[in-house]
């Protein structure tokens, strides 16, 4: 029995700071983003530094695979091969290779990657950047 209109009407009557942010369209902004494996995306020290400075922080991380080409599935098996024609100045002839052999990008992104982000209130963004050493969103 609750729709968006009813939810917003309820939030408008609330004094809760998070409800006020929603009603006033004041979302948290990204202050830091890291990509890589679990070790490279560990942001606990940054969260602790922001919290110690009295800055509310939201930490969010997700894992995904950036390339599906490394995984040969049923649909991919039926797809036509993509070829790269390579030629070098000064050499005669051309070399033709399948894309998966000509580029290592698919292999580099075949593993799951973590993207970790920290968000702070817009009004705290400047102070948060100072605390984090001038780090800008990735």
Query: In the prediction, which pLDDT does 101 show?
Result: 77
- Over its length of 138 residues, how does the chain's per-residue pLDDT go in tens digits? 789 999 999 999 999 999 999 999 999 999 999 988 888 899 999 999 999 999 999 999 988 765 555 454 445 566 788 888 888 787 777 888 887 777 766 666 666 678 999 999 999 999 999 999 964 544
Query: In the prediction, which pLDDT does 81 show?
Result: 80
With 0-12 / 13-18 / 19 or more C-beta atoms within 10 angstroms meaning exposed / middle / buried, residue 120 is: buried
Residue with tokens 């004094």: 15
- pTM comes to 0.63
Closest listed residue to residue 60, CA positions, set 84, 43, 78: 43
CA distances from 55 to 18, 112, 121, 135 (A): 15, 31, 8, 15
């Amino acid at each position: 029995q609750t729709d968006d209109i009813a939810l917003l009407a309820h939030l408008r009557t609330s004094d809760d700071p998070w409800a006020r942010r929603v009603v006033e369209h004041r979302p948290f902004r990204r202050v830091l983003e890291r990509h890589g494996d679990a070790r490279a995306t560990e942001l606990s020290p940054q969260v602790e530094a922001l919290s110690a400075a009295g800055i509310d922080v939201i930490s969010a991380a997700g894992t995904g695979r950036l390339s599906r080409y490394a995984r040969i599935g049923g649909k991919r098996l039926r797809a036509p091969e993509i070829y790269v024609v390579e030629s070098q100045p000064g050499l005669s002839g051309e070399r033709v290779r399948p894309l998966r052999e000509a580029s290592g990008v698919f292999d580099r992104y075949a593993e799951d990657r973590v993207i970790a982000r920290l968000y702070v209130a817009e009004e705290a963004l400047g102070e948060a950047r100072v605390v984090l050493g001038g780090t800008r969103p990735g």
